[in-house]
Structure 1
Amino acid sequence: MATDLFGREHMDELQIVPARKIAATAVKVFATKDPEDFRTTWTAALKLGFEGVPGGRHAGHTRRSGAREPWYPRGTEMCNERQVSILSVEELAEVAADMDLPRIEAEWIGGNVLTEGLPRLSLVPPRTRLVFAGGAVLRVDGDNVPCRIAGASIGEHYPEREGIDLLFPRTARRRRGLVAYVERPGVIRPGEAITAHVPEHWLYR
């Protein structure tokens, strides 16, 4: 991609992907049963406030930084952009197959919303709005990086297999779903239609 003397890209050579809408479905929704446990359980309706899932492990307007934010001292208070975990039926099936496992369930790894019909969910760009038919809106922050903790949770369901805690982070990279925050509170129910408003985006070099 050509640049001028100031390092600016020529706009006529910049590949811009237009904004678009994609239809999907919320297959299941889950909430935290024990605030000390990141795993979730099925629920008939997922209530969302501006703080996220009320009473949930990841609820709050702010959170403490951890290993994902090495630019801050651990424990620094920061904006909570990780209120809700979104997963897809398609990607969970792919990851399970590549790990030679019968299945991976969303609740095992702390999912809140399980979707179907949104291709390559984990690659949906930041700023995408997920608008649910009931009125709730989630704003995508980015992909959720898989970790050994989630892998160990999966491993508990397959005690005959060793090394799942390490295999999952390697296999599920860019297929572990999204994290998002609540832009508009509401209630999400299983079977609800989703419209993903994907913004105009481009590759920043």
Structure 2
Amino acid sequence: MDKKMLDLLTRDGDPEILPGMKLAARVAGVFVAPFDHFVTRAADELRLGFEGIEGDFHAGHTRKSGGREPWYPRGTEMRNERQLSIVAPDELRIVAERMSIPEVKPEWIGANLVIDGLSRLSMLPAGTMLFFKDGVTLKVDAQNGPCRVAGRSIAEHAGMADHEATSLLFPRVAKRLRGLVAWVEKPGVVKAGEEVSVRVPEQWIYRA
């Protein structure tokens, strides 16, 4: 290894590396979107294959790019890393409070899994793995950014008078509280009440 490369690896100000950790949680609810819309409904279980939830609106090995992927022309076929939407009950309560409504139900914003028992679920980093007691493994891709479509769904379901204003409010108040998107690494069946082992990877901030 030449001296220049060695200096880069040993320079002052190297990023702090936080060790990985193992956490415990449980499934508080499971939901599917069996129709041609993202809004979900409560289910007894989720049957998961490598394509995601069987028959779900977001199932598939691939998906079409949209506004979240401005680097592709809209409609470009790409890998589906958004097979499941995961939310936390405490974060939904905060969003509801900020919107001055009694509740935000997970179904309204297309959630598939409600995971309870974790602090700041939406802040779990990409690469976090969720090991469900009955054998399923999910891998977190990213935070799920709140959008106007979900905001409009909340307005409709909560009976709010100004749907347009609510569709704009939700992305502002739900930032970093909207939960996560994940994909299926090991298929199987997930049921409400199931225990989950959460493995958070090492973390660091990359700076060039």
TM-score above 0.5, yes or no: yes
State TM-score, norm by structure 1: 0.93
Unaligned runs of 5+ in 2: none
- State the Cα deviation string for residues 34-59 of structure 1 (Å, max 9, x = none): 1x110000001111000001111111
* 1:59-138 correspondence to structure 2 within 5 Å: 59-138=59-138
Unaligned runs of 5+ in 1: none
* 1:186-201 correspondence to structure 2 within 5 Å: 186-201=188-203
The structure with the largest alpha-carbon Rg is: 2
Select the residue among 166, 171, 174 that pairs with 2:173.
Answer: 171
State TM-score, norm by structure 2: 0.92
In the TM superposition, what is the alpha-carbon distance from 1:15 to its structure 2 partner? 1.0
Q: Secondary structure at the match of 1:195?
A: strand
> CA 1:15–1:152 in structure 2 vs 1: closer, same or farther (change >3 Å)?
same
Q: Distance in 2 between matches of 1:154 and 1:160?
A: 8
**Deviation beyond 3 Å, 4+ runs, structure 1:** 4-13
In the TM superposition, what is the alpha-carbon distance from 1:186 to its structure 2 partner? 0.9
Corresponding residue pairs, total? 201
Corresponding position: 1:184 with 2:202: no
- State the Cα deviation string for residues 104-159 of structure 1 (Å, max 9, x = none): 00011100000111111111000000111111010000000000100000001233
Q: Distance in 1 between matches of 2:11 and 2:170?
A: 41
Residues 126 and 142 of structure 2 are in contact (CA less than 8 Å); yes or no, is this contact kept in structure 1? yes
Identity %: 50
> CA 1:42–1:73 in structure 2 vs 1: closer, same or farther (change >3 Å)?
same
In the TM superposition, what is the alpha-carbon distance from 1:165 to its structure 2 partner? 1.0
In the TM superposition, what is the alpha-carbon distance from 1:7 to its structure 2 partner? 6.8
CA RMSD of aligned residues (A): 1.7
Structure 1 or 2: more helix by fraction: 2
> CA 1:166–1:135 in structure 2 vs 1: closer, same or farther (change >3 Å)?
same
> CA 1:49–1:93 in structure 2 vs 1: closer, same or farther (change >3 Å)?
same
Residues 124 and 200 of structure 2 are in contact (CA less than 8 Å); yes or no, is this contact kept in structure 1? yes
> CA 1:83–1:13 in structure 2 vs 1: closer, same or farther (change >3 Å)?
same
